[in-house]
Structure 1
Amino acid sequence: MGMGKRKRWWLPELAGIGLLLIALVVIFLGGQSNHFALYFEDTFITTSAPIDRCSSRHPETPHDKLLGGLLSPDIDEQSCFSRYKSSMFRKPSPFSVSPYLVEKLRKYEELHKKCGPKSDLYKRAIDQLNSGQNTDNAECKYVIWTQINGLGNRMLSLASTFLYSLLTNRVLLVELTTEMRDVFCEPFPGSSWQLPPDFPIKNLLLKYGTDSPESYTVMLKNKTIPGDSNIRPESLPSLVFFNAVAFNWRMENHLFCEDDQKILLKFNWMVVKSDGYYAAALFLLPAYRNELRRLFPVKESVFHHLGRYLFQPANPVWNIIERFYRTHLINSDEKVGLQIRQFREEPIPFEDVYNRIIECSETENLLPKLDQLNHDNSTPIIDKRISVLVLSLSSEFYDMIKAMYYEKSTVSGEMVAVYQPTHEREQDSQAKFHNQKAFAEMFLLSYCDKIITTATSTFGYVAHGLAGSKPWVLRTLNRLMKEPGPACVRSMSVEPCLHSPPIIECKENVRIDPTEVEPYLRQCDDAPPMGLKLYDLV
């Protein structure tokens, strides 16, 4: 009994002391919040609940889950969590969606539903394919995309093939091998874009190549078909292979000539293989220019709109993205994304690349400057949290940048946290989880306020394209390292670069430079003097 009384006597006092200590800590944190931050596994530890600063930064702009009409509302949210949520973490698009593009997408979705897998018209088209003979006036025509190279290349070529399908009224079907399953959501309501497993031709990627008899250029060379745009459709084979893979840094002849496109339009079945952003080359064709102008009044918005329409992360990928963003980035006042790609064919010492990153950052004011003199009380304090997202196959750059901000404070007193989601060491595009993580990192990079990428990196193209942001491009290619010039340049266009533009030789002995066809088609600014890119500033 006495023991119980003693407990009741001192427990309230202990509780009071505890409350007093908590109050003192809160007062201390409140008074000193500008002066320190605690880190645990690179995560800010704060006394306040998480705040979605992304939404508070644009309070006047409600969340537009349909992206200005780009997306159809007719897909079940449970089948694709990201479809109507992924834009919550990204700034509003700088480009409006043209009403004509919205109309075109809705019409395409109806066509895909009518002609897609499991439809009667699809079964009829398969019968025609099996016959080995083309037909005239087919109600449904198809283009089948096959994948090659890394995820960035695949996404750029797939977006290009979808644009080609819009221009030519073809239904897009995608050969998704095991490593590409559960990476993207299905983009079209009511019908799948996946090539059915019972499609009569197997292993399209391996079956069709430069010397395949189904290749359009081989058909012309072997005189299997005449190069006459007036040829009757029923006299053509049932399938044509459109080879848009870079060959000796140039695409094959004939693919972007007016008369040849007229012949290609007559094939009911087409297989496309590409490793690059050949959407830019479609602007070379006079027959498509007016349609492209109506679809994309702003030239540099092509991939931005097509990418956001086509590429929504599948649920396993979205779980990675949302979990990382809410854990590490949501409380940031500013997010800086740094994507570093080191090419095996162009090895450059780590120190040289790192020095370029630091030089670029200092010149362009991309990262907070360090206080080299270690000032104490004289340092002005700014209540600003900056998150630096490092994306690289190696961990060395992350380690160096993290150590840099761990060892020294910033001149203005910003709190800086450095993160790296993964470091895979090697690119393994044949592994599904690798592709899922790569896509998650592309999305996370697209959520950053400032984006720094590596010249010619398709990973970087996809990320800043989805963001609608002009990146700072690190000039870290061998030949660029040897040339005088800045460590990085600000891109003048959001568009990706087509590294290997086609040779335009539609008439014998008459060769046209693709960068001289239209003023908005010019060499790529991230790796001159190569490539082809769409610009709005002339």
Structure 2
Amino acid sequence: MLLKNSEGDSSVTPLPPAECKYLVWTSYNGLGNHILTLASAFLYSLLTGRVMLVDRGKDLTALFCEPFPDATWLVPTNFPVDFQVFESKNNQSYGNMLRYGKISIASSGVVTGPPLPFIYVHMTYRYDNNDKRFFCEPDQEFLVRMPWMVLKADNYFVPALFLNRMFEPELSRLFPDKETVFHHMSRYLFHPSDTVWGMITRYYQSYLSMGREKLGIQIRIFNKDESPLDLVADQAINCTLREGLLPPVALDRPIVSANLNNTKVVLIASLHSQFSDRIRNMYWEHPNKGGAVVSVHQPSHEEWQQTGSENHDLKAWAEIYLLSFADVLVTSTGSTFGYIAQGLAGIRPWILVRPYGGKMPEPACMRETSMDPCFHSPPWYDCKSCKSFSDPGKEISYVTHCRDVPDGIKLVGRTD
């Protein structure tokens, strides 16, 4: 029976390689997490020779076109498995099987266990050291033989795949320029549905197409007490003026001749309207010194994230794609929304440093080292000694710590 548990003896080695092997991606958390983990799961499927199937969740079909012509990667609607039962306490998770001795690790490092028709891999941000063994080479030698794998994640885990010597040679052949991994995968896999593409083209043609230069600003507030809206608005203005992304205003001159050949369009993506209002009013109340024509636009301001709402996700996906048309991006610390926009655009953004204690950070923003997203919860784990280890950001030259999330890791261009 499909995905039925085995009751074989625990000393038996895994099943021989199946003719076809499958990975089923299951949805978890918000839209940004969906996109980043879909890309990660797809790359892992390529590396391990698996057919990838996608749990369609609530609104996946409304957001994206199928990436492969004349084929589908969606799990059939009559599939006889409820993927919502797979969570951290599930007995069939790889981490729990290690924890309770159903799968064992010999002193030589070899992983052994019963012949399993399927395995569940749990990789949300709360995963533990047993779950993190997914990234270890002996464990992958065991897992690669499982006919079916169900995976739930909310992190972009591609950087950790480069730390595995089984995968690194093929990954380096696929991606000589390491920071372009998500850029290439996102453009290959994630095509807006007709509904979303209509929203994108209508907005672009109406408000953005006339801009000689396009600046995208994406602002996400995770804690209003630590990061008050007015303070973050000041921060965004400080950043864009200091780095020359927006022209300074002429406070001492009531009129400056406008240069109609120098137009700058500013697209702001945020749940709140205060940021676009502040920048728009600044250029309404004062001329700018260069005479550039600055227009400020914000497609929506939903006020709060509505995870699982199809209408909310349609707008979010359209705004991510609109941001990717920008020449320069300013994004928020740790935001998956910004990661996807910069990856699609293929540019390194300026990152707004997250304020703490309601105080203005200095500097207000910093330049990102890479266009690739950050893996927020990497495995600080030594596979050989089965314990936490020093630093996954110092193993190889092109995997370093993230500037916005220091405990995370990300891919950068080669430094040698």
Asked if the contact 1:179/1:429 (under 8 Å) is kept, the reply is: no
Q: CA deviation at 1:393?
A: 0.2
Q: CA deviation at 1:147?
A: 1.3
CA distance in 2, matches of 1:221, 1:518: 30
Structure 1: any 5+ residue segments left out of the alignment?
1-126
Moved more, 391-400 or 504-513: 504-513
CA distance in 1, matches of 2:359, 2:58: 41
Q: CA deviation at 1:156?
A: 0.6
CA 1:282 to 1:143, structure 2 compared with 1: closer, same or farther past 3 Å?
same
Whether 1:487 aligns to 2:364 is yes
The structure 2 residue matched to 1:525, chosen from 385, 389, 403, is 403
Partner of 2:353: 475
Whether 1:174 aligns to 2:54 is yes
Q: Percent of aligned positions with the same letter in both sequences?
A: 40
Partner of 1:330: 209
Partner of 1:406: 284
Q: Aligned with 2:47: secondary structure?
A: helix
Whether 1:504 aligns to 2:381 is yes
The structure 1 residue matched to 2:338, chosen from 445, 456, 460, is 460
CA 1:232 to 1:210, structure 2 compared with 1: closer, same or farther past 3 Å?
closer
Partner of 1:261: 140
Equivalent position amino acid for 2:216 in 1: G
Asked if the contact 2:111/2:138 (under 8 Å) is kept, the reply is: no
Asked if the contact 1:181/1:432 (under 8 Å) is kept, the reply is: no
The structure 2 residue matched to 1:349, chosen from 206, 218, 228, is 228
Asked if the contact 1:278/1:498 (under 8 Å) is kept, the reply is: yes
Asked if the contact 1:389/1:418 (under 8 Å) is kept, the reply is: yes
Asked if the contact 2:135/2:161 (under 8 Å) is kept, the reply is: yes
Whether 1:284 aligns to 2:198 is no
Q: Aligned with 1:306: secondary structure?
A: helix
Instruction: Kindly report which structure 2 residues correspond to 1:428-443, keeping only aligned pairs within 5 A, or say none.
Output: 428-443=306-321
Partner of 1:18: none
Instruction: Kindly report which structure 2 residues correspond to 1:153-168, keeping only aligned pairs within 5 A, or say none.
Output: 153-168=33-48
Q: CA deviation at 1:375?
A: 4.3
Moved more, 129-138 or 482-491: 129-138
CA distance in 1, matches of 2:238, 2:166: 46
The structure richer in helix per residue is 1
CA 1:375 to 1:250, structure 2 compared with 1: closer, same or farther past 3 Å?
farther
Instruction: Kindly report which structure 2 residues correspond to 1:119-268, keeping only aligned pairs within 5 A, or say none.
Output: 127=1, 129-130=3-4, 132=6, 135-202=15-82, 204=83, 206-227=84-105, 235-247=114-126, 252-268=131-147
1:105-145 Cα deviation digits (max 9, x unpaired): xxxxxxxxxxxxxxxxxxxxxx5535758853322111111
1:428-484 Cα deviation digits (max 9, x unpaired): 1211111111000000000011111001111000000100000011112427x7696
Q: CA deviation at 1:503?
A: 2.4
Q: CA deviation at 1:252?
A: 3.1
CA distance in 1, matches of 2:95, 2:254: 68
CA distance in 2, matches of 1:173, 1:300: 26
CA distance in 2, matches of 1:175, 1:191: 15
The structure 2 residue matched to 1:534, chosen from 407, 411, 415, is 411
Q: Aligned with 1:368: secondary structure?
A: coil
CA 1:370 to 1:156, structure 2 compared with 1: closer, same or farther past 3 Å?
same
Structure 2: any 5+ residue segments left out of the alignment?
8-13
Q: Aligned with 1:438: secondary structure?
A: helix
Q: CA deviation at 1:248?
A: 7.0
Asked if the contact 2:236/2:364 (under 8 Å) is kept, the reply is: yes
Asked if the contact 2:348/2:367 (under 8 Å) is kept, the reply is: yes
CA distance in 2, matches of 1:390, 1:417: 11
CA distance in 1, matches of 2:371, 2:133: 29
Equivalent position amino acid for 1:413 in 2: G
Q: CA deviation at 1:518?
A: 0.5
How many residue pairs get matched?
406
Q: CA deviation at 1:423?
A: 0.6
1:215-249 Cα deviation digits (max 9, x unpaired): 1111122222333686789x422110111111179
Q: Aligned with 1:425: secondary structure?
A: coil
What is the root-mean-square deviation in Å for CA atoms of aligned residues? 2.2
CA distance in 1, matches of 2:15, 2:45: 19
Q: Aligned with 2:104: secondary structure?
A: coil
CA distance in 2, matches of 1:285, 1:451: 32
TM-score (norm 2): 0.92
Q: CA deviation at 1:376?
A: 3.3
Q: Aligned with 1:478: secondary structure?
A: coil
Whether 1:295 aligns to 2:174 is yes
Moved more, 302-311 or 244-253: 244-253
CA distance in 2, matches of 1:516, 1:304: 23
Asked if the contact 2:18/2:145 (under 8 Å) is kept, the reply is: no
Q: CA deviation at 1:251?
A: 8.4
Asked if the contact 1:356/1:476 (under 8 Å) is kept, the reply is: no
